[in-house]
Amino acid sequence: MSKCDLRISLARPDRTYAPGETVSGEVAVTVNQAVKSKGLDVTLQWRTHGRGNTARGAKTVQALFQGEWNAG
pTM attached to this predicted model: 0.67
Q: What is the pLDDT of residues 8-24, one digit of tens each?
A: 999 998 988 888 889 89
- Give pLDDT tens digits for 18-62: 888 898 999 999 998 888 889 999 998 888 888 888 899 999 999
Assess contact for 64 and 37: CB atoms under 8 A: no
- Counting DSSP H helices and E strands in the chain, the numbers are 0, 6
Which has the closest alpha carbon to 29: 20, 21, 39, 18?
A: 39
